[in-house]
Each structure stands twice: as C-alpha cells, then as structure tokens.
Amino acid sequence: MDEKVKELLERIRGTAGDTARAAGKKAGQMVDVAKLNVQLFDLNGEYSDILRQLGQVMVDTHRGCPPSGERVTDLLGRADETGERIAELKARIADLRQAQTCPACGAPCGREDKFCRACGREL
C-alpha cells in the first residue's frame, strides 16, 4: 500500500498518534525507573552506613567501650526503616518494569501501560 494512503487511513482511524503516545509513555516510565534507581542507590548507601555504624558498636563493645542502649536502638530502628523503604522501592521498580506481557509480541510491559513498549499494540 502506498505510504501516503496508509498514513491517511491511519489518520482517519485516529490511530496515528498511538505509537507516539506509547513512545511517550515508555519514555516517562523509563524516567520514573531511573529516578527510583537513583533513590534506591542513595538508600542502599544509607543502609550500608547504618550497618557500618552498627559494626562499630560491636567493635567498641568488644573493646570494652559499650555505647548507650539508646544509640543501638536508634540504629536498629533506622536499619529497619531503611530496609523497608528499599524493599518498597524495589517492588515499585519491578512493577514499572514488568507487570504484564504483550499478547502480540510477548514483550514485558508495565502494569499501567496502555500500549506495548516494543510493538505499540494496545494492551
């Protein structure tokens, strides 16, 4: 089929924008995932720091200089809290990355995707 005729038919059917919208959606989700990955990186750093401080507490205690119970409780509380936030972020990233499969091409798509990320088919 002639490309101009094809384009015209697509316009008439109102489907011409679908692929562009799918691409825009995909870009948006990639940005979301990238942002969440940055947050995850920061949280992992925070978590490592808390573990390092807890390790220092162990060494200090071993060397006969135990810290206050308050400090240990505080660090353990922060470890729990940060661990929960990390798990939550990982779940959100997994959701954005793959929550459904395209029935046409089998590509992994996000739960909220209206169109396939690979072939542009409506989901």
**Under the criterion CB under 5 A, does residue 72 sit at the interface with Zn ion?**
no
Beta carbons of 118 and 107 less than 8 angstroms apart: yes
Token look-up 């793959």 returns 98
Taking CB under 5 A as the binding criterion, the range among 9-17, 42-50, 89-97, 115-123 that sits at the site for Zn ion is 115-123
Question: In what helix (H) or strand (E) does residue 5 lie, and over which residues does it extend?
Answer: helix 3-13
CB closer to Zn ion, 57 vs 116: 116
Q: Which of 75, 16, 23, 25 is nearest to 46 (CA)?
A: 75
> Least distance to Zn ion from the beta carbon of 122, Å?
10
**Under the criterion CB under 5 A, does residue 33 sit at the interface with Zn ion?**
no
> Least distance to Zn ion from the beta carbon of 110, Å?
13
**Under the criterion CB under 5 A, does residue 123 sit at the interface with Zn ion?**
no
CB closer to Zn ion, 72 vs 107: 107
Residues with Cβ within 8 Å of 97's Cβ and at least 6 positions away in sequence, in order, are 33, 108, 110
**Under the criterion CB under 5 A, does residue 102 sit at the interface with Zn ion?**
yes
Rounded to 5°, angle at Cα 80 from 76 and 81? 115
Footprint of Zn ion on this chain (CB under 5 A)? 102, 104-105, 107, 116, 118-119, 121
